[in-house]
């Protein structure tokens, strides 16, 4: 007569239940992680039932439990795996892992931003972060911003729902303050990075001050009718229109480039000693001025 060792039935039942859960999950759309984190309590129920049945059907006056340690070890490992899944799921780590695995890099359009101007607004102060930015003069009486951003996302979900998610505008007196926000980035083991490329249109008759934190800026002043200043850019590419009336003054920059004779170097530093350069470009009578400071490199191109 064969002896019954506690654990053999539990191991077989555990494999049956686990197989059923995994099989049904394929047809019912259940998440594998949720299945693994939810089914493990059945192991305790099955093992408990097996012990009770052994004690109930045992013909011994004082039955002694005999365990199949290999089966118990196997059931224990399945239980530990289930508990681990449940713990990671409860702390949110498992959900984060699922999200990272399901991520894909996609590009989206920025929600359009516009601020209607009137003649009482004389100046715009624009603060930009380290994103690729094009600033262009326009005849329209509004400050507007559009472009694209690239991020890692799941299920094609957009990171930005409205313009308020990436830009803030506030008027004070005769000045409009426009701040471009830094988009969310994740750090650590779930690192993700968001890139943004935008175009900002500024009315050509309004004074503009750009304060940047290392952005690559393309400047297209076209037929500018006021003074602009740019501070703190990493690189600045200025596109000068053929009939422009501009004086471009670059102060304390690492270097300038352009067509031969485009720049008049007023101070030439020693690059070996880290000295910086001052340079001036003038087209037409130079009625309107673009001042550039605390910028690494400035290039000049005809538009």
Does residue 64 surpass a pLDDT of 60? no
pLDDT of residue 207: 96
pLDDT of residue 208: 97
SS3 132: strand
* CA proximity to 59, closest of 8, 1, 9: 1
pTM of the model: 0.67
pLDDT-based confidence at residue 158 (cuts at 50, 70, 90):
confident
CB 89 within 8 A of CB 95: yes
pLDDT-based confidence at residue 293 (cuts at 50, 70, 90):
very high
* CA–CA distance, 162 with 145 (Å, rounded to integer): 12
Does residue 54 surpass a pLDDT of 50? yes
pLDDT of residue 46: 72
* CA–CA distance, 72 with 74 (Å, rounded to integer): 5
Torsion of CA 240, 246, 249, 250, to 10 degrees: -10
Query: Which CB contacts under 8 angstroms, 24+ apart, belong to 276-281?
Result: 276/252, 277/250, 277/252, 277/253, 278/249, 278/250, 278/251, 278/252, 278/253, 279/249, 279/250, 279/253, 280/247, 280/248, 280/249, 280/250, 281/240, 281/246, 281/247, 281/248, 281/250
Angle between helices 8-28 and 41-57 (to 10 degrees): 140
């Amino acid at each position: 007569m064969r002896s019954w060792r506690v654990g053999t039935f539990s191991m077989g039942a555990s494999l049956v239940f686990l197989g059923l859960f995994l099989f049904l999950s394929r047809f019912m759309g259940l998440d594998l992680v949720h299945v693994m984190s939810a089914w493990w309590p059945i192991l305790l129920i099955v093992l408990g039932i097996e012990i009770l049945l052994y004690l109930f059907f045992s013909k011994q006056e004082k039955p002694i439990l005999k365990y199949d340690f290999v089966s118990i070890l196997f059931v224990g490992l399945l239980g530990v795996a289930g508990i681990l899944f449940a713990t990671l799921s409860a702390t949110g780590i498992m959900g984060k892992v699922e999200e990272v695995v399901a991520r894909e890099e996609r590009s989206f359009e920025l929600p359009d931003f516009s601020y209607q101007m009137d003649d009482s607004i004389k100046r715009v102060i624009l603060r930009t972060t380290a994103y690729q930015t094009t600033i262009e003069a326009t005849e329209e009486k509004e400050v507007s911003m559009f472009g694209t951003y690239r991020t890692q996302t799941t299920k094609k979900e957009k990171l930005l729902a409205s313009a308020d998610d990436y830009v803030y505008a506030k008027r004070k007196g005769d000045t409009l303050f426009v701040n471009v926000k830094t988009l969310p980035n994740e750090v650590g083991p779930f690192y993700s990075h968001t890139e943004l490329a935008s175009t900002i249109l500024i009315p050509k008759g309004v004074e503009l001050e750009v304060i940047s934190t290392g952005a690559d800026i393309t400047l297209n002043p076209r037929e500018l009718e006021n003074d602009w200043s740019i501070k703190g850019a990493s690189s600045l590419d200025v596109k000068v229109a053929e009939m422009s009336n501009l004086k471009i003054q670059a102060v304390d920059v690492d270097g300038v480039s352009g067509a031969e004779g485009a720049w008049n170097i007023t101070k030439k530093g020693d690059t070996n000693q880290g000295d910086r350069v001052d340079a001036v470009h003038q087209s037409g009578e130079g009625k309107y001025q673009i001042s550039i400071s605390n910028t690494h490199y400035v290039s000049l191109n005809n538009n």
